[in-house]
Amino acid sequence: MASLKELKGRINSVKSTQKITKAKQMVAAAKLRKAQAAAEAARPYAERLSAVMASLAGKVSGDGAPKLLAGNGSNQRHLLVVVNTDKGLCGGLNSNIVKEAKLQAKKLIAEGKDVSFYLVGKKGRAPIKRDYANSIDKQFDTSVVKNPGFEEAEAIAAELIAMFDEGKFDVAHLVYPTFQSALVQDPTTAQLIPVPAPEGDATGGDAVVEYEPDEEAILAELLPRYVKTQVFGALLEIAASEQGASMTAMDNATRNAGDLINKLTIQYNRSRQAAITTELIEIIAGAEAL
């Protein structure tokens, strides 16, 4: 049984940890508002861009279609672009993203496809390397900047497009979390390259739209921007998801620390009361002996 001194030390240690988790929770809550607003503000632009591409892609086909839209004619080599966080203490966020990436990899391998990985963020690297050590093509480190933004998205997109042009993969899929709330961040897999022809049309039904310059020239400029926008959206989603998951995890940790402090305090009081009772019995027994 632990001594009173050991119990007192454990209580003080847990209280110190509780202060840290409470502070981390408050910091995450403050950052979440800004990150959530940024992620939600980027969604309408991405949706509108997809709608415009739907209009353009429907008018371009055959040899006139850019490579980023038509692909290279093969579907054998697949690249999974996995977006994780650089920091921990955010619950099961990174493990859920890794599970989704591994699930997609197993599915593609079962279909006879070749799978490789492009890893963004540090926390998802180790678990993927354990199972696919020889399938890691590239790693992009976002920890060198405080808040990864459009510049980092441009760098990632440019590298992916260059790899596609060099024939290093046929299809690229983006694996990232979609922020729903502080409690829910859904792992999402979306085809990134070649750019899938979006469903729907933004032209307004039967309206006649003339493009200047022609559709091929606009798509050649718009498709790389679309890839950058998708990657940028994934970075915003992972930022919001990280803060939401961190806030929830730290709240749970703070509550658990409080429960542990209560249990240790009860144990300490019982041990202290037992020690006092023992001392009283010894005093009374000594007095009676006299």
What CATH number is attached to the domain comprising 220? 3.40.1380.10
Q: Is 90 a catalytic residue?
A: yes
Type and span of the H or E element at 26: helix 4-57
Is residue 282 domain-resident? no
Dihedral in degrees, nearest 10, Cα atoms 108, 111, 114, 117: 0
| Residue whose pair of structure tokens reads 């969604």 in the numeric block | 43
Q: 224: which residues sit within 8 A by CB, 6+ positions away? A: 68, 157, 161
What pLDDT does residue 144 have? 59
Residue 175 lies in a domain: yes
Burial (CB count within 10 angstroms: exposed 0-12, middle 13-18, buried 19+), residue 124 = buried
Is 118 part of a structural domain of the chain? yes
Residue 163 pLDDT > 70, yes or no? yes
Tell me if 2 is assigned to some domain: no
Give the model confidence (pLDDT) of 180-198 as tens digits: 888 888 888 888 888 776 5
- The active-site residue, picked from 28, 53, 83, 90, is 90
Rounded CA separation 141/133 (Å) = 18
Residue 278 inside a domain? The answer is: no
Place of tokens 């085809």: 191
Confidence of residue 58 (pLDDT cuts 50, 70, 90): low
Q: Is residue 279 part of a domain?
A: no
Q: Is residue 29 included in any domain, yes or no?
A: no
Number of domains making up the chain: 1
Angle among Cα 155, 167, 66 to the nearest 5 degrees reads 75
Q: Is residue 27 in some structural domain?
A: no
Tens of pLDDT, residues 65-104: 677 777 777 888 888 888 888 887 787 888 888 888 889 8
Domain range for 216: 39-249
